[in-house]
Amino acid sequence: MNLVALRKSGPSSADPRRILEPPLVASPPRFKAYSTPQLDQIPQVAALPEEQRFAMRVVSHVLPFRVNDYVIDQLIDWTRVPNDPVFQLTFPQRGMLTEDHFDRMADALRRQAPRSELKTIAQRIRADLNPHPAGQKQLNVPRLDGEALPGMQHKYDETVLFFPSQGQTCHSFCTFCFRWAQFIGDKDLKFASAEADHLVDYLAAHPEVTDVLITGGDPMVMKTRNIEAYLDALLDPRLAHIQNIRIGSKSLTFWPYRYVSDRDADDLLRVFERVVAAGKQLAFMAHFNHPRELGTDVVEMAVRRIRNTGAVIRAQAPLLRHINDDAETWNANWRRQLQLGIIPYYMFVERDTGARCYFEVPLARAYEIYRDALRHVTGLGRTVRGPSMSAGPGKVEIQGITEVAGEKVFVLRFIQARESHWVQQPFFAAYDPEATWLDKLRPAFGEEKFFFQAEYEAKYGATNLK
């Protein structure tokens, strides 16, 4: 562990000059990542039983795997493996594949099948795992002068997503990632853009857009000079209507040194300051599944340094079996976020993709967890909305479970929708204790369709509610 001389954190100060104080970390750790071929080189993994290691190898030939020393040494409690939440969050587990898929790959590895065959098997299995949920590839790609812009998505009026090409990996991969298909080297499954120019031109032509969400992967894997190019492009005078620049990142969990001791950490914070000084909100959209991720000195320091630039940090995460499917964990997570000045934002339902079978939690249970966790935070924490499903038609929140005219129902609403007039309209689904996604729900009161469904089908050619 390299954090030998971390300065004890004093009270947070709004003075941005604080970020210059050296040295924050005596010997800055070097980033070292491990992926499938290096699995057995991780000493803590080498100490696990052979059967477990083999299972991990099998799964990591199908689903993306990448982890680094900080996660291994400071976030995972190896005495609690395999049940440790951060181990579940980053390391492949047997149950992440169906028996059938697992056996197919296990077989091939046991008979030492050639690489090309392993690849074919992996591709077939992946194709069964719904690599692009909620019609992302077909429905959300924006066009400029008739040309599709592949590194962008524009689903909701006010917000454009941008996927910079150098930001399409992460410091470590999440086992439940809904963008996992982007990390397996299949060009066809990837959307990324090298073009800040296209982004600026597109935004200039869309005055209704107020928010740009730079996402990935994780844009914070980029060097500062690359991030800087994109952020500076967004300060173009033609883009006065862009008020909020969001950055979606898991780096506070996986590599907080990015903001503390990496060579270009201070430069990065300077760029954040510049965005804020230009009159935009820099919204740092962080991702914390478990309070453990907010427990080290270095993450505390990283949070403080980001906040000192004037950026605002919000937190969102999916609810996942094996990692955070209880109210106590969420309550502790939100309380810790508030203590660090982070604003709780969204609780998501795990999407229908990848290893979903391993992580999914019924909607009814998700709602109870949200409700119970929320009961014991102050109003400052009740900014968090959820549980929310990012489905084809929009983000659908489970607002409650109740009885209407003698029928037990889910009360639902869109918090975001393809059609803005769907937003905030309450609607009802028949209660179903097993349902895990919108497409499994039926309208309440014997109705044929949900209120938005005919329009969704007609306008977007949709045939389901995934």
Ligand X SMILES: *Cc1c(COP(=O)(O)O)cnc(C)c1O
- Give the nearest distance from C-beta 179 to ligand X in angstroms: 11
For residues 88 and 390, which CB has a smaller minimum distance to ligand X in the complex? 390
* In the complex, minimum distance from the CB of residue 250 to ligand X, in angstroms, rounded to a whole number: 16
> What distance, in Å, lies between the first and last C-alpha atoms of the chain?
44
The site map against ligand X for 106-135 (x = CB under 6 A) is ------------------------------
CB of 434 to ligand X, least distance (A): 25
Nearer to ligand X, 104 or 395 (CB): 395
141 vs 415, which CB is nearer to ligand X? 415
User: Is 390 among the residues that bind ligand X (CB under 6 A)?
Assistant: yes
- Cβ-based nearer residue to ligand X, 92 or 392: 392
Q: Which is closer to ligand X, CB of 298 or CB of 389?
A: 389
> Minimal distance in Å, beta carbon 426 to ligand X?
18
- # binding residues, ligand X (CB under 6 A): 10
Among 111-119, 148-156, 333-341, 455-463, the segment contacting ligand X (CB under 6 A): 148-156
Residues 210-239: x where in contact with ligand X by CB under 6 A, - otherwise, as a string: ---x--------------------------
Site string for ligand X, 153-182 (x = CB under 6 A): x-xx--x-x---------------------
Q: In the complex with ligand X, which residue's Cβ is closer, 108 or 152?
A: 152
Residues 2-61 that bind ligand X (CB under 6 A): none
The residue (of 95 and 150) whose beta carbon lies closer to ligand X is 150
Using CB under 6 A, pick the residue from 307, 416, 444, 456 that binds ligand X.
416
For binding to ligand X (CB under 6 A), which residues are involved?
A: 153, 155-156, 159, 161, 213, 390, 395, 415-416
